[in-house]
Amino acid sequence: MSSTSQKHRNFVAEPMGEKSVTELAGIGEILGKRFVTLGFDKANIVLGQFLLLKKNKELFIDWMKDSVGANTKQAGDCYQCLSDWCDEFL
């Protein structure tokens, strides 16, 4: 996990709790606001969508691009963050 961001490492290091959606790797202030508008104000709600999409990388990235206008890197970073979190805690 050495190539991941500090934000990614911080997120994966502890249980989900009530973390804001902007604590996910790849999600900054602008995408965070778009997520909140759609009702995805907490990271655990995005995790729910990730699980509904059966942890499928392509489906999740496409969903992020379509729903909040994320680019491939942002969506990929968020996917990897959630995937690593699941490996650690689920």
As assigned by CATH, the class of the 6-89 domain is mainly alpha
Check residue 3 and give its pLDDT: 73
Check residue 1 and give its pLDDT: 44
The pTM score is: 0.94
What are the contacts of 51-55 at 24+ separation with CB within 8 A? 51/86, 55/82, 55/83, 55/86
Domain boundaries defined on the chain: 6-89
Residues 19-76 pLDDT 10s:
999 999 999 999 999 999 999 999 999 999 999 999 999 999 999 999 999 999 999 9
**DSSP-assigned states of every residue in 10-45:** HHHTS--TT-BGGGSTT--HHHHHHHHHTT--BHHH
Check residue 4 and give its pLDDT: 85
**CB contact at 8 A, 70 and 26:** yes
